[in-house]
Structure 1
């Protein structure tokens, strides 16, 4: 599943050109995410420079094209939006997260919202969690989104996550399933810290 241009690269010259420039080089759509954490420091620094250049070069029109595509295009766009700090896309990323139309891109939306770090970003995460923690039958990006909200609380001094942590609250009920679930939220938060550090490094290399 995806946007109106998902799966149409073969007959959509504009989409194909943007994919070839920003999504597929070096399989960027796969590397941006958890794979970054497995890179050696020097390789990660080089990749941050490369990502920073791409984020500085991509135009709003090209970002819109990617956000109308499939998960590869949307995931890549979210990372480039984060690095270039284009907060005008906050609402669009929130809409895509809430819609959860396909796999693999949700964590990228969370990283972008975390990198913006404002109260408005926390509100988008709260809206997502209010909807999907009520669905124990679905295991989408609830754990990563919740870890992101916890991190934003820690950084800002807010307590937006508190409502979900009450005994018998939505987080506990979602974990109870069925099926039963267990997540290392500290591990997710550590990963988020490192991914946001990459965003900052890439942004600095691009002068964003």
Structure 2
């Protein structure tokens, strides 16, 4: 199976087994400590685990970590966790993030992950929250590092990539596949 990070990964079995072990062993206290650390590696890990399990208990901590977008890469996994939690609050948080960081301007953060997560939730629940962001291409224009050149992010690529992540999780973590089937 193609790994969502690109290409085939030789260590995917080790990664999956390590993730499963963490899902079994980590406690609520561990999760809270990881969210409170502010360390991007711990934030990635804890949101990855919350997303796989669809744990709703930490949605406020996810929001607190996502919206200010202070740490690199962790926003991607916060968006993943919100999609897997899949409730109305998840949608509100993803929309708040997109409202804050679109148009892109100089802020190339996790907009593609947020739109991927929001559109995935729309597909899952028959809603159209992502439509507003997808219909206006001007929202996706940016100036990387203040350059005068305009760069256009492609939200369709974010949506495609996000579906790969979900496919990966559903394939390798089938015991948790039904955790995100909540109703908005």
The TM-score with structure 1 as length reference comes to 0.70
The runs of 5 or more residues in structure 1 that have no matched partner are: 1-32
Q: CA deviation at 1:67?
A: 1.1
Residue of structure 2 aligned with 1:61, choices 29, 32, 37: 29
Q: Distance in 2 between matches of 1:56 and 1:136?
A: 42
List runs of 5+ in structure 2 lacking aligned partners.
144-148, 180-184
Instruction: For 2:123 and 2:12, locate their aligned partners in 1 and report how far apart those are by CA, in whole Å.
Output: 26
- Which structure 2 residues correspond to residues 57-136 of structure 1 after superposition, within 5 A? 57-69=25-37, 70-134=39-103, 136=105
1:131 to partner: Cα distance: 0.8
1:199 partnered with 2:147: no
Aligned length: 169
Structure 2 counterpart SS, 1:173: helix
Larger RCO of the pair (alpha carbons < 8 Å, separation 6+):
1
Task: Indicate which of 49, 60, 83 corresponds to 2:17.
Answer: 49
Q: Provide the aligned C-alpha RMSD in A.
A: 2.6
Is 2:151 aligned against 1:185? no
Per the alignment, residue 128 of structure 2 pairs with: 159
SS in 1 for 2:109: coil
Which protein has the bigger helix share?
Answer: 1
Which has the greater radius of gyration?
Answer: 1
